[in-house]
Amino acid sequence: MIDERIAELIHADIDGCLPEARRAELSRVLLADPEARAFHGDMQRLQERLEAVADEEVPPNFADSVMAAIPASAAGAGSHAPSRSLRRVLALAAGVAVVAVALRIGGLGGEIDGTAAVGTMASPPASAPVTIDRPEVSGSVQLRQTAEALFVDLDVALHEDVQIVAVQANSSVSFSGRAGAARDRQRLTLELPAGASGPVSVRFASHGRSIGDVQLEPPVGRH
């Protein structure tokens, strides 16, 4: 059994922080004590083994995914989860444009509660719904184009606190929270500004981790 004081000398040497004044003491111990010498050798080899383990590269686009998931409000503002009733509209932007979010909520076939301006046009062109089926969120997502804006319509059950971010070109809108009681289907609408083009990426995250990513092409057709 190595004496505690000698073990400390050996570990300090391995860590490169042995004071010069104590180097001679360690040398004397290693010369005189075969057990200490063997222990020093073992620790040195362990250190070499650990040093030989290379760092792994960060997954591609990691920083981008972090930046897409953080809210646009100033850092340090604490949690951004809204009230559970979701009467609150969150306008969160990433990138260049700050855009308005229109949020409409209602149970399936239920009352519309939110901005009256949303979704009042007759049969606007819409993309085919895409299904998301995760333990945290399930339902469907589709895009709806009007003359004023592009809408991301979600018909989902949110079983956990979920953040949904819709990104198109330089614009993004997001929603955080849990809609009503668990497993109730809810309709949510996120509004992207008119004028932008290209596919829309709808990202789902829960408790800070990505849980799904849906790519949608804007619908083609007359408004």
Partner 1 sequence: MSEDDDAELVRRCVRGDRRAFERLVLRYQKPVYNAALRMLRHPEDARDVAQTVFLKAYEHLADYDPTHRFYSWIYRIALNESINQLNGRKRVAPVPEDEPSDGPGPEQVLDAQLSGRRIQAALMTLKDEYRAVIVLRHFVDCSYEEMAEVLQLPEKTVKSRLFSARQLLRHALQQTGMTPP
Q: What DSSP letter does each residue of 63-91 carry, written as one string?
A: HHHHHHHS-SSPTT-------TT--S---
Nearest distance in Å: CB 153, partner 1: 26
Q: In terms of CB distance, is 10 or 105 closer to partner 1?
A: 10
| Residue pair 143/218 in contact by the 8 Å Cβ criterion | yes
- Please, what is the minimum distance in Å from the beta carbon of residue 77 to partner 1? 7
Q: DSSP 3-state assignment of 24? A: helix
CB 89 within 8 A of CB 104: no
Of 49 and 183, CB closest to partner 1: 49
Four-point Cα dihedral 64, 65, 67, 70, nearest 10: 180
- Which residues 5-34 are close enough to bind partner 1 by CB under 8 A? 7-8, 11, 15, 17
Sole binder of partner 1 in the list 24, 75, 96, 147 (CB under 8 A): 75
Alpha carbon distance 2, 38 (integer Å): 10
Contact flag: residue 47 with partner 1 (CB under 8 A):
yes
Per-residue x/- mask for partner 1, residues 93 to 122, rule CB under 8 A? -x----------------------------
Quote the CA–CA distance of 181 and 49 in Å, as a whole number: 53
The answer to the question of residue 46 lying near partner 1 (CB under 8 A) is yes
- Contact 155/195 with Cβ under 8 angstroms? no
Q: Which stretch binds partner 1 (CB under 8 A): 24-32, 37-45, 121-129, 132-140?
A: 37-45
Q: Tell me the closest approach of the beta carbon of residue 132 to partner 1, in angstroms.
A: 18
Residue type at position 176: S
Chain positions contacting partner 1, by CB under 8 A: 7-8, 11, 15, 17, 41-43, 45-47, 49-59, 62-63, 65-67, 69-80, 94, 207-210
